[in-house]
Amino acid sequence: MARKNILKIASYIPGKSIEEVQKEYGAKQWVKLASNENVLGPSPKAIEAVRKELSKIHLYPEGPCSILRQAISQKLSLPEKRVVISNGADNLILMIACAFVNEGDEVIMADPTFSVYANVTQIMGGKPVRVKLKECTHDLEGMLKRVNRKTKLVFVCNPNNPTGTTVSRDSFHSFLSELPDRVIVILDEAYGEFVEDPYNPDGLDYVGKKQVILLRTFSKVYGLAGLRIGYALGREDLIHCLYQVRDPFPVHRLAQAAAVAALNDEKHAIRSIQMVYEGRRYLYQELDRIGLSYVPSQANFIFINFERDSEEVFRGLLAEGIIIRPGKTWGYPTFGRVTIGRRVDNYRFIKAVKKIIR
């Protein structure tokens, strides 16, 4: 009875939650470094905004998210008509597939990258075209070679998940200039706030000028992953298509209130970004001392080569009260993706890794 397209989809496997591991390993002092969440938590202003909104949850939310759209529009100096908001970037990716992918269309993406790109393509009867990473980075030239008359979308996750790598501004600009106008590029900047590389392309430079849809989220730097809220930016004609497939009330009242408050708390965002910068430097230094290689990252996580089955490392870290993501799901069985935490979290992770390796 099911649509044939959905039967072949590989289900998305999230990082293990603290609740899951507590059932198996008991109520330890857990630190979760598996899902790239902001371990500092949300802005205190966002928490207060949620409290104030609680008494209104018997009312439907404001469908178009006008107040939040206006806040994003003002912060980014973009017209409101170029902004669409939904319940997380995941849902926006599904909306993009619903709006643009017909049966038989091809969608180009890196391999490995965020698996939801392939899933939504298959749901719509499209064909995912995977292009292997080159030195752990998007091979934009290789992706361009795979473009044909069936190509509808190209996903570029920048920084890429799970490697944390970015493409250069020059290579991305060249890629766009050679791409046919009928092909839409989805530039996913879920981790964009953590980039230090000055040569990284800024998606805002292309919004409204090219066939680019830019994705951003409140889950990472703003610490609102549990409220599921993200937004897309693009040319008005492209954004209009997303509104055609958007749910009537996709974002609940609490999430909208929290997101507006979070945007207004610059200090918390800066503190979260600085924590990642400092944590990256510390982890690089300690991993070098241990002798473990890793992919230099521009995100709030590091892809580490443990030089052994990462499932074993995963289980060993669980015994120490630490949760990470083993790399088998991406075809890197000796790698693990580790979220950058607070200083105490990073220290605890390094101490546990040394113990496991010994």
pLDDT at residue 253, rounded to an integer:
97
The answer to whether the CB of 238 falls within 8 A of the CB of 47 is: no
Q: Over the stretch 295-339, which tens digit does the pLDDT of each residue have?
A: 999 999 999 999 999 999 999 999 899 999 999 999 999 999 999
pLDDT level of residue 27 (50, 70, 90 thresholds): low
Same domain for 181 and 299? no
Same domain for 149 and 16? no
Range of the domain at 335: 8-42+267-357
pTM: 0.95
Here the CATH number for the domain that contains residue 34 is 3.90.1150.10
Q: Over the stretch 79-103, which tens digit does the pLDDT of each residue have?
A: 999 999 999 999 999 999 999 999 9
Last residue within a domain, chosen from 223, 249, 264: 264
3-state secondary structure at position 269 = helix
Q: Over the stretch 179-204, which tens digit does the pLDDT of each residue have?
A: 999 999 999 999 999 999 999 999 99
Same domain for 234 and 302? no
pLDDT level of residue 244 (50, 70, 90 thresholds): very high
Same domain for 162 and 284? no
Last residue within a domain, chosen from 248, 264, 280: 264
The answer to whether the CB of 247 falls within 8 A of the CB of 88 is: no
User: Taking the CB of residue 9, how many other CB atoms lie within 10 A of it?
Assistant: 14
Same domain for 159 and 243? yes
pLDDT level of residue 127 (50, 70, 90 thresholds): very high
Specify if 317 maps to a domain: yes
Q: What are phi and psi of 85, to 5 degrees?
A: -120, 140
To 10 degrees, what angle do helices 44-53 and 253-263 make? 150
Domain count, the chain: 2
User: Taking the CB of residue 327, how many other CB atoms lie within 10 A of it?
Assistant: 24
Same domain for 91 and 195? yes
